[in-house]
């Protein structure tokens, strides 16, 4: 039988100690057991704009970190400009570690998922909608029987939290080639939309679920690298 160790990353947020555990679902990466900034698996955690590192009161284009103040004019992660009228493209479509809120807040072993990893989660796992009045969301069970819970925490547009308790919006680490959007996983009680087919404005506030690279031999973990998997 496989021996599963449990090493946690502890994050201090507003006086609350938050422990992130890496759960082995039998997939290509390990999945955190709760959202970044969450007090537990059912908690939404923090909402951030894509590439930003802190929550805020309003999620707007004009206060977005990578915006020159105008629509369609990002200052970073701008791969293509068909009109050739805005910021010079930098060719970047994947968040660098210093702009990845999971890496910054949890440590170098963690990062935001890529599109293909969310698609693997959608395709290879069993999704069960939990219609709990206080904490609705999906119980996602991997091929090996371990599971995580994804709260339906909605999305911030401007200063309003929309669809809380009904829809989930989780950032990937990848932007579209066009300037304004980044890929996310979106779900409702009746729909699990693959990230290949869903995006939202970068400046909106979405929740974050971190992943860590799976390692075949956990006795060979580098010093200080936190996420060893636990069964759930």
Domains of the chain, by residue range, sit at: 9-230
User: Based on the number of CB atoms within 10 Å of its own CB, is 186 exposed (0-12), middle (13-18) or buried (19 or more)?
Assistant: buried
Determine contact, residues 141/125, Cβ cutoff 8 Å: yes
Distance CA 94, CA 7 (A): 28
Position 8 scores a pLDDT of 46
Per-residue pLDDT of the chain (232 residues; tens, 9 = 90+): 333 334 344 444 444 445 589 999 999 999 999 999 999 999 999 999 999 999 999 999 889 998 866 665 678 887 665 555 555 667 788 999 999 999 999 998 899 999 999 999 999 999 999 998 889 999 999 999 999 999 999 999 999 999 999 999 999 999 987 778 999 999 999 888 766 568 999 999 999 999 998 865 555 555 555 555 555 5
Residue 116: the pLDDT is 94
d(CA 151, CA 207): 9
Pair 209, 36: CB distance under 8 Å: yes
pTM for the full model? Answer: 0.84
């Amino acid at each position: 039988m496989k021996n599963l160790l449990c090493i946690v990353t502890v994050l201090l947020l507003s006086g609350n100690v938050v422990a992130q555990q890496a759960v082995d679902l039998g997939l290509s990466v390990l999945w955190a057991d709760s959202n970044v900034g969450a007090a537990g698996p059912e908690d939404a955690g923090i909402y951030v704009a894509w590439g930003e590192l802190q929550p805020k009161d309003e999620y707007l284009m004009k206060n977005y970190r990578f915006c020159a103040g105008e629509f369609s004019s990002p200052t970073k992660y701008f791969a293509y400009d068909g009109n050739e009228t805005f910021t010079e493209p930098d060719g970047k479509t994947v968040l660098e570690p210093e702009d990845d809120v999971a890496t910054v807040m949890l440590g170098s072993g963690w990062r935001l998922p890529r599109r293909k990893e969310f698609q693997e989660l959608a395709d290879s796992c069993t999704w069960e909608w939990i219609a709990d009045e206080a904490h609705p969301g999906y119980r996602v069970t991997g091929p090996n029987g371990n599971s995580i819970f994804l709260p339906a925490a909605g999305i911030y547009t401007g200063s309003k939290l929309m669809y809380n308790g009904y829809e989930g919006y989780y950032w990937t680490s990848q932007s579209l080639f066009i300037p304004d959007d980044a890929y996310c996983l979106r779900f409702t009680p009746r729909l699990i939309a693959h990230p290949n087919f869903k995006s939202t404005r970068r400046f909106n506030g979405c929740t974050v679920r971190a992943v860590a690279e799976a390692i075949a031999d956990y006795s060979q973990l580098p010093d200080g690298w936190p996420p060893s998997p636990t069964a759930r």
